[in-house]
């Protein structure tokens, strides 16, 4: 099976002038920027699911891909062959990390016991593949949304036996993630929401989800998993409304169940835009709340109202995001996971590489532009000037509680204050960003 990509060499950096479509023009893994290499800053990962599990099927048509590892056969043997292909690709495209759902890598089997046995076998396979290739696991997760048993949710399901089944998958996937040295564990509630309020008890379902996440955190500490627990927000699709709508909603949920110091967010670009936000907004919100963890790097289509999971290709979109990430200290356990899938018409093996090369070059160039912007202080100096009053006597006294509402009002009247409005300089700041993006 590894022969699927035999015609390709490891993708190399050739520089901006290269005309080779199978080379990086901007991602130079060992180039040092602000004291760290690009590889260390970006922490790229490739996903198992879209790349090696999806066959090109959509609701209007059958699969378009002809992938040898998706042919009929012994499920466990096919999973092993899929691992051969996956790790060959990961190694050649040059992402230092990968990620998976449990059923991406191991057959579900015909019972919960068979599932656990298959996972045990495949974890040994993945461990060997990691040793052979040097690949590392950015995060693992459990698919508690695809099987029909989860049609009404997993943790939020009206049936506690479904909750228990999901808990067994999460237990197994968390243990597997720890065993493989994973740096994070992700919780994505693909069905944790509702289709109609007519049959939904919102309080009951939130309480169930809260208890499930508490159990996850308890188990993390029990097994000594030192990675980060991440929640991946999404507003809708496949449900009408999901309980992890966006980063701000997740923060409220975590506060309710006492988990705000235990869990961070894995932000997907396409989920942010489906929630009516910009990607930049979700990153800035997560950073401001101390929730920033990791990113699922992709993009949507402005003319399509669903999650299209396309490869990122906008340096303009990514530069302000990378600026905020750099300014906040960068990734710790997180990284840039390409939660991306080829178009149904992109059926050649080379298309795997073209998609990832383009996405990696986009993020790398945005990193360089963001570093230039950060070093120049062109933005930060304007922001500091705008809020300078809060470092003065009045601003400090307000924030430290020296004033009550009454005493502040009395002081304002006594001083006959008459504040003048000043420009926010938005257009100037946008021009500054473009100056850095489009400079050589």
Q: Give the separation between CA 166 and CA 161, rounded to whole angstroms.
A: 9
DSSP class per residue in 73-139? S-HHHHHHHHHHHHHHHHHHHT-SEEEEEHHHHS---SSHHHHHHHHHHHHHHHHHHHHHH--EEEE
In the residue annotation, 101 being an active-site residue is answered as yes
Contacts of 331 (CB under 8 A, 6+ apart): 41, 43, 294, 325
**Of 266, 332, 340, 259, nearest to 299 (Cα)?**
340
Phi-psi region of 310 (alpha: psi -120 to 50; beta: other; left: phi over 0): beta
Q: Is beta strand 193-194 parallel, antiparallel or unpaired with respect to 136-141?
A: unpaired
Catalytic residue among 88, 102, 104, 246: 104
E strand or H helix at 430, and its extent? helix 426-437
Catalytic residue among 26, 28, 88, 101: 101
Beta-bridge partners for 296: 268, 337
Residue 86 near residue 99, CB atoms below 8 Å? no
Contacts of 140 (CB under 8 A, 6+ apart): 99, 100, 101, 102, 173, 174, 176, 177, 180, 182, 185, 186
CA distances from 7 to 11, 83, 406 (A): 12, 18, 76
Q: Is beta strand 241-242 parallel, antiparallel or unpaired with respect to 193-194?
A: antiparallel
Instruction: Quote the tokens at residue 430.
Output: 């946008």
In the residue annotation, 307 being an active-site residue is answered as no
Catalytic residues: 101, 104
């Amino acid at each position: 099976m590894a022969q699927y990509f035999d015609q390709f060499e490891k993708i190399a950096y050739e520089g901006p002038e290269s005309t080779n479509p199978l080379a990086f023009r901007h991602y130079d893994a060992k180039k040092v920027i602000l004291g760290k290499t690009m590889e260390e800053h970006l922490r790229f990962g490739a996903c198992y699911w879209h790349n090696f599990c999806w066959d090109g099927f959509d609701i209007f048509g059958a699969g378009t891909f002809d992938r040898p590892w998706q042919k009929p056969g012994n499920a466990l043997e096919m999973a092993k062959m899929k691992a051969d292909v996956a790790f060959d690709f990961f190694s050649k495209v040059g992402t230092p990390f990968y990620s998976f759902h449990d059923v991406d890598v191991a057959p579900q089997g015909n019972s919960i016991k068979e599932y656990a046995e298959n996972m045990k076998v495949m974890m040994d396979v993945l461990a060997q593949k990691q040793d052979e290739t040097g690949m590392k696991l950015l995060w693992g997760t459990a698919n508690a949304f695809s099987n029909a048993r989860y049609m009404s949710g997993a943790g939020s399901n009206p049936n506690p036996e479904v909750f228990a089944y999901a808990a067994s998958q999460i237990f197994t996937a968390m243990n597997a993630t720890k065993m493989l040295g994973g740096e994070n564990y992700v919780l994505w509630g693909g069905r944790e929401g509702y289709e109609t309020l007519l049959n939904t008890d919102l309080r009951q379902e939130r309480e169930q989800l809260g208890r499930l996440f508490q159990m996850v955190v308890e188990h993390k500490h029990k097994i000594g998993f030192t990675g980060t627990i991440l929640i991946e927000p999404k507003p809708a699709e496949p449900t009408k409304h999901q309980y992890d709508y966006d980063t701000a909603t997740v923060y409220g949920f975590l506060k309710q169940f006492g988990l705000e110091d235990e869990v961070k967010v894995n932000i997907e670009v396409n989920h942010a835009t489906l929630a009516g936000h910009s990607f930049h907004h979700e990153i800035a919100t997560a950073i401001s709340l101390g929730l920033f963890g990791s990113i699922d790097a992709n993009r949507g289509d402005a003319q399509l109202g669903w999650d299209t999971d396309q490869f990122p290709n906008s340096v303009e979109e990514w530069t302000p995001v990378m600026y905020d990430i750099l300014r906040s200290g960068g990734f710790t356990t997180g990284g840039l996971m390409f939660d991306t899938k080829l178009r149904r018409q992109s059926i050649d093996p080379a298309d795997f590489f073209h998609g990832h090369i383009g996405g990696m070059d986009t993020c790398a160039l945005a990193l360089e532009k963001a570093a230039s912007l950060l070093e120049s202080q062109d933005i930060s100096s304007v922001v500091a000037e705008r809020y300078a009053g809060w470092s003065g006597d009045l601003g400090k006294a307000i924030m430290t509680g020296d004033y009550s509402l009454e005493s502040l009002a009395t002081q304002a009247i006594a001083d006959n204050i008459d504040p003048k409005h000043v420009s926010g300089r938005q257009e100037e700041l946008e021009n500054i960003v473009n100056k850095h993006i489009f400079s050589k």
